[in-house]
């Protein structure tokens, strides 16, 4: 490899690392509002929200609607959301053939 090509690669890698560092520093300042729900959404609501992910995404573009419920009950909501989204989006079984 010649010297100008090596310098170009180092420049690109340096730019990428600087971009990642800036993103990490800026994301460190992000906070979430404190949950204040008496009964946060659980597994079944996560399953429903995951299944309607595409409709929620389109709705969130035009309204002030989130595609992911906050506050939620944590791990069980996440698991239901994952199952619902994978059912609606086809999962990985069809591509395994």
Segment 13-61, tens digit of pLDDT: 899 999 999 988 887 777 666 667 678 888 888 888 888 888 888 888 8
Residue 96, domain member (yes or no): no
Nearest-angstrom CA–CA distance, 28 and 14: 21
Whether residues 56 and 19 share a domain: the answer is no
Q: What is the mean pLDDT of residues 89-94?
A: 67
43 and 85 co-located in one domain: yes
Domain with 7 in it: 1-30
Domains: count for the chain: 2
Residue 96's contacts (CB-CB under 8 Å, 6 or more residues apart) are none
75 domain-assigned? yes
Whether the full predicted model's pTM is greater than 0.75, yes or no, is no
């Amino acid at each position: 490899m010649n010297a100008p090509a090596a310098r170009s690669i180092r420049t690109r890698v340096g730019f990428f690392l600087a971009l990642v560092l800036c993103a990490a520093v800026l994301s460190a300042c992000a906070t979430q509002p404190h949950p204040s729900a008496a009964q946060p959404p659980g597994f079944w609501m996560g399953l429903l929200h995951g299944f309607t992910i595409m409709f929620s995404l389109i709705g969130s573009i035009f309204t002030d609607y989130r595609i992911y419920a906050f506050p939620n009950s944590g791990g069980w909501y996440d698991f239901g959301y994952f199952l619902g989204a994978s059912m609606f989006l086809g999962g990985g079984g069809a591509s395994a053939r």
